[in-house]
A = this chain, B = another copy of it.
Amino acid sequence: MSAAHLGIVRVLTSDDREFVGTHGRVIAARYGIATESRCIPGQPHGIHDADTEALAVPKIVELARDLAADGAGCVLISCAADPALAETRAAVDVPVVGAGSAAAAVASGLGGRIGVLGLNDAAPRPIADLLGDRLVASVRPDGVRRTTDLLEPGADERALAACRRMVDAGAEVILFACTGLTTIGLADRVRAEIGVPAVDAVLAAGLLASYALH
């Protein structure tokens, strides 16, 4: 095991260290690797459209440079939309993982036909690009438009029903394109009650990072 740690770019701004470290803690607990999470400056609402993504790109590249300079052996851009992924790979000498393409990659290795569960009817672009015609369906749970909607009563059953519809349509693997689905522990229920693997974006990114750091 290498001594190098995983540098995590959170693509929003927050002073709440507990919140900022959420993804890093999940990855550290599952894969036993050290992580350091930092935020980009000046974007408390994160990335929510093309303008805020464009604004974030140079900040993500700069933050990744800082993390690598401070000893990170791998950098994770922890967002399913993979903002600034190509630019960051061009800028730093360590492997760079994006949560969206990592989830698509892991799902591609576990099944030939993938269903994407998220907050939008369309899969995030980097996930759709990487899956190509292996993407057989992309849905959101009924009544769910924001990640907080997943905490409402019955949302887990509606999310599970959405997964079941995709499996009935031929999906062999479910990909979670929203980290709110990690929080409600849906992956274990998809496996136990529907019988297919569920791939979470943060855990998939941690899996690939653990490989790169070994």
Contact = CB atoms under 8 A, between A and B. Distances in A.
Residue among A108, A204, A211 with most chain B CB within 10 A: A211
A30 to B, nearest CB: 8
A97 B110 contact: yes
A49 to B, nearest CB: 24
Nearest to A2: B191
Contact of A110 (B30, B93, B104, B208): B208
Given A109-B97, A112-B86, A197 B172 contact: no
A97 B197 CA distance: 12
Q: How many copies does the complex hold?
A: 2
A105 interface: yes
Interface residues of A, number: 34
A33 interface: no
Contacts of A106: 105, 109, 208, 211
Given A105-B109, A108-B101, A108-B108, A93 B208 contact: no
For the complex, would chain A's binding face be called helix, strand, loop or mixed by DSSP majority? helix
B132 A195 contact: no
B211 A207 contact: yes
A64 interface: no
A111 interface: yes
A133 to B, nearest CB: 10
A85 B113 CA distance: 12
A183 B196 CA distance: 33
A41 to B, nearest CB: 26
B97 A101 contact: no
